Amino acid sequence: MTDPVRDEWYPVSLVSQLHHAARDTQLLGEPIRVTLRDGQPLVTASGRALPSQARYGHVWTSLGTPARPLFDIPEADQPGRRLVDVGLVRVKCSPLRAVENFLDIAHFPFVHTDILGAEPHTEVGRYDVAIRDEVDEVWATKVRFYQPQAAKSAEGGITTEYMYRVPAPTVSILYKTCPPRPGEWDVITLFVQPLTETLCEVWPWMALFDDVTPLTDLIHFQQTIFLQDRSILENQQPSLLPLDPGMEIPTRADLTSVAYRRWLKRRGYTYGAQLVAA
Amino acid sequence: MTAAWTPVALVRDVPPLCVMPACVDGVELALWRSATGRLAAWADRCPHRGMRLSHGFVRGEALSCIYHGWSYGSDGHCLRIPAHPDLEPPEAIRVPVYHAVESGGVVWVATEAPDVPPPTVEGSPLRSLTVEGAVDWAAAGFSLSGPVARGHLSGIGVTILVQPLPNGRQVLHALAEAATPAALKEASRDLEALRRQAEEALA
């Protein structure tokens, strides 16, 4: 029998952090242990070996039987990109709220003031959102927003273009204008490990065209952004993401969130979510 | 439950342009004051994405949510959605508004309109302080009537207003009769001693 929650692949560690010590952590409320054996990841739950693989700097595992391979990020293998392990931020919120926040641009001027947005540039123009049935992913395209400092490598304000992709319930991938390399997209991902329905660890990861910025600065930039987001995520009520309309009021700027919630409901992915009937 | 006023803050602790969390009858509130001094107690939740409004900011006569900047006017209805500056927000986007009054240097809030005004209290603001557990008012020589406890600390007449919180916690808002600064400091320390006794009794 398939299980829409347990059969997913989840990030549970950075590969680079396993060389010295095992990581004892949790997945969907179950204790797990992540180690390397002969250079390969080994994940166990109560002594049982779980499916596991190393990809995009992280160890991925599943408590069930994954029906599909891990999603593909073709840019990860593109020559010239710098792959950045950012680390983790623990957030007391639903893993789905963390993903939804990552898909949102309208909060930039208020939460990431003078970095990713600034008043009076608050308007969110029309963009396209679709649930792509052939790949079963949510995509938002033609998203544009004015940013005072879009990336560590950006000097001064620019209008940045974005694409958002949700290839799995607790993963989001952001493609954004790459200032030093017009025509290419910088890739910034949000891999979310659900510890419980209301506690998660967020693993940002990047594949950038940027040979200049020191690693420390790249990591600090992302940590600053995610710590600002955390102050929001830990103060939303209810803490579970409402999948049915009625509890919250979306506008046109929230179309990605609307599609994400609909897509979760259609897949029966309810871990960290609440239904009106519940 | 009969409608009643609950003390939530000393007036001097809620200056213009300030917003803070409060709790009355188990309802979480955002207590705030506009630039011109208008006081309001609202549900502590932005209807857009459920963010606490007590984390928001006050500009002029409006309270804005810190998440997406949605701003709400004095009657609780949405004035502006920054993501759509040209949109007139629908009437239906509204934050529940509760009753808030100032009387005797204290802010009082009620979730349902009471028939009577808040109790009359005397004295100048001393301080507010949160206590885990219940104070034994009789043992401290205080008489308790509704949310109002009257007695003496360091020989100074004080009125203490009790704001119950969930999980057995409470906030004490203390007012004191006129006294020297040194005597008021002593009274304040005695209030801390009351808290310590209550919390040690709990442990």
Section A195-224 average pLDDT: 96
Q: Between vectors from CA A98 to CA A123 and to CA A48, what angle results, nearest 5°?
A: 160
Per residue in A121-131, pLDDT (tens digit) is 999 999 999 99
Can you read off the two tokens belonging to residue A124? Answer: 């969110």
Is the pLDDT assigned to residue A194 strictly greater than 70?
Answer: yes
Q: Are residues A123 and A56 in the same domain?
A: no
Q: Which residue among A109, A119, A237 places its CB closest to the CB of B50?
A: A237
Q: Which residue among B45, B51, B83 places its CB closest to the CB of A251?
A: B83
B99 in contact with chain A, both atoms CB, cutoff 8 A: no
Q: Are residues A100 and A191 in the same domain?
A: yes
Of A144-153, A200-209, B26-35, B109-118, the poorest mean pLDDT is in: A144-153
Q: Hey, are the CB atoms on B51 and A251 less than 8 Å from each other?
A: no
End residue of a domain, out of A22, A39, A70? A70
Chain A residues touching residue B48 (CB < 8 angstroms): 248-251
Domain span including residue A2: 1-70
Is the pLDDT assigned to residue A152 strictly greater than 90?
Answer: no
Q: Which residue among A119, A232, A249 places its CB closest to the CB of B67?
A: A232
Pairwise CA distance, residues B198 & B203, whole Å: 9
pLDDT at A277: 56
Q: Hey, are the CB atoms on A110 and B51 less than 8 Å from each other?
A: no
Q: Hey, are the CB atoms on A231 and B85 less than 8 Å from each other?
A: no
Section B112-120 average pLDDT: 95
End residue of a domain, out of A13, A48, A70? A70
Pairwise CA distance, residues B42 & A140, whole Å: 35
pLDDT at B1: 54
Pairwise CA distance, residues B53 & A179, whole Å: 36
Nearest to B131, CA basis, from B177, B193, B181: B193
Q: Are residues A12 and A52 in the same domain?
A: yes
pLDDT at A278: 47
Pairwise CA distance, residues A260 & A265, whole Å: 9
Burial degree of A235 (CB within 10 A; 0-12, 13-18, 19+): buried
Q: Are residues A94 and A160 in the same domain?
A: yes
Phi-psi sector, A3: left (phi>0), alpha (psi -120 to 50), beta: beta
Q: Hey, are the CB atoms on A110 and B48 less than 8 Å from each other?
A: no
Q: Are residues A82 and A215 in the same domain?
A: yes
Q: Which of A96, A99, A110 to mutate to test the interface with B (most CBs of B within 10 A)?
A: A110
Pairwise CA distance, residues A120 & B65, whole Å: 16
Q: Are residues A110 and A207 in the same domain?
A: yes
End residue of a domain, out of A36, A70, A104? A70
CATH of the domain at A237: 3.90.380.10
Nearest to B33, CA basis, from B41, B22, B21, B43: B41
Per residue in A86-103, pLDDT (tens digit) is 999 999 999 999 999 999
CATH of the domain at A1: 2.20.25.680
Pairwise CA distance, residues B35 & B38, whole Å: 7
Of A149-163, B69-83, B169-183, the poorest mean pLDDT is in: A149-163
| Distance, C-alpha A267 to centroid of its chain | 18
pLDDT at B35: 98
pLDDT at A276: 76
B51 in contact with chain A, both atoms CB, cutoff 8 A: yes
Burial degree of A64 (CB within 10 A; 0-12, 13-18, 19+): middle
Pairwise CA distance, residues A60 & A70, whole Å: 8
pLDDT at A206: 97
Q: Hey, are the CB atoms on A231 and B50 less than 8 Å from each other?
A: no
Per residue in A166-187, pLDDT (tens digit) is 999 999 999 998 877 888 999 9
The residue that leads in pLDDT, A157 or B36, is B36
Count of structural domains, chain A: 2
pTM of the model: 0.95
Local structure of A215: helix, strand or coil: helix
Q: Are residues A134 and A238 in the same domain?
A: yes
Tell me the pLDDT of chain B averaged across its residues.
Answer: 96
Is the pLDDT assigned to residue A20 strictly greater than 90?
Answer: no
Chain A residues touching residue B84 (CB < 8 angstroms): 123-124, 251-253
In chain A, what percentage of residues exceed pLDDT 70? 97
Q: Are residues A228 and A140 in the same domain?
A: yes
Q: Are residues A244 and A270 in the same domain?
A: yes
Domain architecture of chain B: domains with CATH: 6-110 (2.102.10.10), 124-202 (3.30.310.220)
Give me the interface pTM, i.e. the ipTM: 0.95
Pairwise CA distance, residues A258 & B153, whole Å: 58
Section B71-93 average pLDDT: 97
Q: How far is B167 from chain A (nearest CA, A)?
A: 19
Rg of chain B in Å (alpha carbons): 19
Local structure of B185: helix, strand or coil: helix
> Helices (DSSP H) in chain B: which residue ranges?
181-202
Q: Are residues A4 and A105 in the same domain?
A: no
Section A119-144 average pLDDT: 97
Nearest to A253, CA basis, from B37, B105, B40, B68: B68
pLDDT at B125: 96
Chain B residues touching residue A107 (CB < 8 angstroms): 67-68
Q: Are residues A168 and A224 in the same domain?
A: yes
Per residue in B45-72, pLDDT (tens digit) is 999 999 999 999 999 999 999 999 999 9
Tell me the pLDDT of chain A averaged across its residues.
Answer: 94
Section A9-14 average pLDDT: 98
pLDDT at A153: 63
Is the pLDDT assigned to residue B15 strictly greater than 60?
Answer: yes
B60 in contact with chain A, both atoms CB, cutoff 8 A: no
Pairwise CA distance, residues B80 & B73, whole Å: 9
Q: Are residues A168 and A240 in the same domain?
A: yes
How many other C-beta atoms are found inside a 10 Å radius of the C-beta of residue A47?
6
Section B90-100 average pLDDT: 97
